[in-house]
Each structure stands twice: as C-alpha cells, then as structure tokens.
Amino acid sequence: MSKTKSNVNADIAFAYLPTHKKERKMSFFDLLLVQTVVGLSAFGLLSGAYAGTMVEAGDSLIAVFFGNAFPMFLIAPVAFYFAKYGVDTFVGYRSALGYNGVVAFFILFYLLSLGYSALALFMAGESLSSAFKVVNAPEFLSGSVGPTVCAIILFFIAFIIVLRGPNAIRKFNIIAVPSFFLFLIALIIAVVFSDHIPALNKLTPVEPFENHTRSFMTALEINVALGFSWLPYLGQYSRLAKSSKSAYSASFYSYGVVVVVAAVVGAIAALISGSMYPGDWMNAIMGSKFAIIGLILLTVANLGATLFLMYSFAISFKTLFSKSSWIIAVSTLLPTIILLLNSTFYDAFNIFMSVISFSMASLGGILIADYFFVKNQNISLRDLYNTKGKYNYWFGFNPSAIVTLVASYFFFWGIYNPITLEAKGLFLKITAGIPTFFLAGVLYYVCAKFIFRFEVDRVSAKDEKFKEYLLKTKTSL
C-alpha cells in the first residue's frame, strides 16, 4: 500500500468512526485557526463586497457584522453534539434526518462544495490573471479569457495535490495560510494609511436597489447566508476538540467573528473600487506597483482554501460510499470546471448564497430543535451506526424533517425569490434566512413531539460497549 493511500485511508477511518477522548487534541486556538482559514478566503471577501456594492460604508459594516455573527450564534450549539459524541457530520445528522435523509443532505453538501470550490478558484484565477496583466503576459493569460484559463489550471493543480493526500495538502498550506493573512494585513494597511478612510462616507455603492431598505436587507441576507453555510463543517473539527466549550467557542468566533474581518475588507474594497474583482481592488487601493504582490498572495490563499474544500468533501464521500476508490471520490468534483468556464457563476454569488441561506437555515433549525429540545441531548450512538436502527424513521427519512423543509421552502420563497431577487414586504422587515431558521425549529419540534412521535430519544446502556467496539475496530484499521 502506498504512503498516500495509507494516509488517506487513515483519515477516512478517523472521519467515520467516533473519536476517543485521547484523540481529541485540538485546543480552542487550534480549532480557531483551522476553521478560520477557509472562511477568510473568497467567501468572506465576496459577501462583504456585495454589501459594499449595495449600501454605503456604515450600513455595510452592520450587514457584515450582524449577518455573519447572529446565524453562527444560532447554529454554533451544534458543536456541542459533535464534541460530546465524537462523530462526523454525516453520521451525527442521522439522528435528525434519518439514514437516507443524510444522503440527501450530502447531495446538498456536494453542490455547496462545487459552488464554494468554483468561487475560490475563480477569484484565484482572476487574481492570477490580473497579476499576469501587470507583467504584460500573453493574451490568453492576461486578457478576457485569462481568469477562466488560470482558474482551470489552478483546479488541476488542486486536483493533483488532493489526490496525493493529506501530507501534500498540509505542506502547501504552510504557504497558503500565511499568504492570506499577509494579504489581509497589506490591504488593511493600504486602506488605513491612505486617503481612503476619510473618503469612505462620501462613497456611494455602484449597484444599489431602487430604495435603501431593499439594498440593506439584500446585503444583510447574503451575509446571513454565509453564516448559515458553515453548518455542514461544524462537525468536522468539533469532534476533535478537547472540550465541548472550546468546540462551541471556536466555531462561533472563527466563522461568526474572525471571518467578519475578511468581509469588512471586501466591503471597503468594493466601495473604493466599485468592483467585485480583486484585480480592481488592488489597483484602486495599492496601486499597480504593489498590486501584483497582493494578487499573488490572494491566489495562493484561495488555492489553499480549495484544497480544504475538495479534500473535506472527498473524505465525506468515501465515508458514505466506502467501496469507491479515492480517485473516484476526488473526481466527483470535476464538474467544478463547468462553473469556471466564464464569470457567470462568480457574478451570481449573491443568488447562490441566497439559495444556501434557505437550505442551511432550515436544516439548522431542524438540527438544533432535534438535539436540544426533542431528544434532550440524548443520542443513541449504536443507532447512529446501525443503518437499520431507530433512526430509520420512515423508509430512512424523518417525516418531521420532510414536513419542516417543505413548509420552510414555501415560507422563504414566498417572501423572497433568490433567483429573481423579487422581495415581498415581509422580507423588507425581517429578511428571510433568520425567520426561516426559527420557523423550522418550532415546526420540527411540533411534528416530532405531537404528530409523528418516534421513540428515538433513549440511549441504551449497551451503547458504551458498542462505542468501545467501534474504537477497537478503528485501532485495527
């Protein structure tokens, strides 16, 4: 067995089986750093940038801070679940969604992974193409097709690195992680020590809606979507935390607070440059002489974020479909290339995030209600792994979750259409994502407690022995 295959298989076993207390070695600061890295890349920058194109500086900051922090405040308690039981995302969510329901959730995670990978890669490609333009590189790298060509090249670099396994990714991230922090620091310094700050209050957004309220609520909704979008990732590292408290705190502060730094930078950059593209940001803020340095750092950083996204998905794919080869698991992300063929998907970031807002807000409400209020933090570890156990519900789907998702769909899309961006009066007062979360939580509780009433809230005393068996199995792998 090759070293790469051995490392990948070890990660798959580690991801699938529950972690023993001795294996939970990540402190608050370890978790904070590793979870911050991916959030600080394209997604935080773009959500902030959209706010900067819609509303002025003060309102942009409000949309960015509240939009990211409050959704994370609502869903971060999920970290307690994974820290307590040491299980992966797509094992733990079986208790609320059912065995087949988790597969449906995984499909949504697949689409999220494709979209996030494409966004990170296109921003990296656009940054690299802009850098090539500064040095007068050939037209196919620096011209109109340059971002697409560069993004596709970067995709295959990421593809090869992920195929080589975790060691190759860790070596690359030794460069990628500091690159993004250097980029942010350089951009912040350039803004602060220039004449941009005094002029911010005088700058007007380039793409506002017909009235201020509509612009602000839309900007807020995009940032709310980013906050909810971290839901599938909360279980991946919380299970490694030394304590439940550190898992919760690190999740909230990384995705709900530190990511705001990138979003604020994106909002300010968009206001100053009047553009969503990093190349325009660099030239407007840093000047062409120093822009190339920032663009290269941003390219490396977003490539590092792509590695995290691709590897994370591939590991989850292998845990659910264990008979598939590693190359098949990674190759499932090849459709990302389709989203890189032009800037259409990148430009539609706001639409993509609004759809994510509906999906993750609904699921977040379900998961919080199920674990804390329906099952009272009492989960059967045995039945999480026994796919014919109590969490089979109805043909593998939890009907309470299905009813809740359908009702949430009609509510969300009834007041806000994320495709056409058509907004009803209620959206202009309460937005859509946050009220959808509360609706989903309340409705799920009512369905689970008073309508369907499955008896899955008791943990057998034999579960501890089953956990010991799983840990022994893991040790032998």
The tens digit of pLDDT for each residue in 386-411 reads 888 999 999 999 999 999 999 999 99
Instruction: Flag whether 341 is in a domain.
Output: yes
pLDDT at 185: 84
The answer to whether residue 417 is domain-embedded is no
Q: What is the pLDDT of residues 245-275, one digit of tens each?
A: 999 999 999 899 888 888 988 898 888 888 8
In a domain, 374, yes or no: no
Kindly tell me if the per-residue pLDDT of 368 is higher than 90. yes
Residue 416 predicted with pLDDT over 80: yes
In a domain, 233, yes or no: yes
Q: Is pLDDT of 86 > 60?
A: yes
Q: Is it the case that residue 23 has pLDDT exceeding 80?
A: no
For residue 105, pLDDT over 90 is answered with: yes
CB atoms within 10 A of CB 136: 7
Evaluate if residue 153 carries a pLDDT over 50. yes
Q: Which two tokens stand for residue 440?
A: 């989903």
- pTM of structure: 0.88
pLDDT, position 196: 65
Position 379 in a domain:
no
Residue identified by tokens 């969490």 is 391
Specify the pLDDT at position 308: 84
Tokens representing 96? Answer: 């609320």
Count of domains forming the chain: 1
Structural domain range at position 196: 24-347
Q: Which of 58-62, 142-146, 233-237, 324-328 has the lowest mean pLDDT?
A: 233-237
pLDDT at residue 459 tops 60: no
More confident residue, 411 or 23: 411
- Could you give phi then psi for residue 385, rounded to 5 degrees? -100, -20
Residue 452 lies in a domain: no
Query: Is the residue at 158 inside a domain?
Result: yes
- In a domain, residue 382? The reply is no
pLDDT value for 461: 47
What's the mean pLDDT in 7-29? Answer: 70
Confidence bin at 204 (pLDDT 50/70/90): confident
Asked if the model's pLDDT at residue 304 lies above 60, the reply is yes
pLDDT confidence band for 218 (50 / 70 / 90): very high
**Is the pLDDT at 113 greater than 60, yes or no?**
yes
Helices (H), 286-380: 287-320, 326-331, 336-339, 344-347, 349-368
pLDDT given for residue 1 in this prediction:
45
Find the range with the poorest average confidence among 59-68, 98-107, 455-464.
455-464
149-163, 312-326, 388-402, 417-431: segment of lowest average pLDDT: 312-326
pLDDT value at residue 475: 54
Banded pLDDT at 467 (limits 50, 70, 90)? low
Q: Give the per-residue pLDDT at 60.
A: 93
The CATH number of whichever domain residue 248 belongs to comes to 1.10.4160.10
pLDDT at residue 183, rounded to an integer: 82
What does the pLDDT average to over 12-24?
A: 68
From residue 285, alpha-carbon distances to 181, 272, 396 in Å are 17, 7, 54
Using the predicted structure, report yes or no on whether residue 364 has a pLDDT greater than 90.
yes
Mean pLDDT, rounded, of the chain: 86
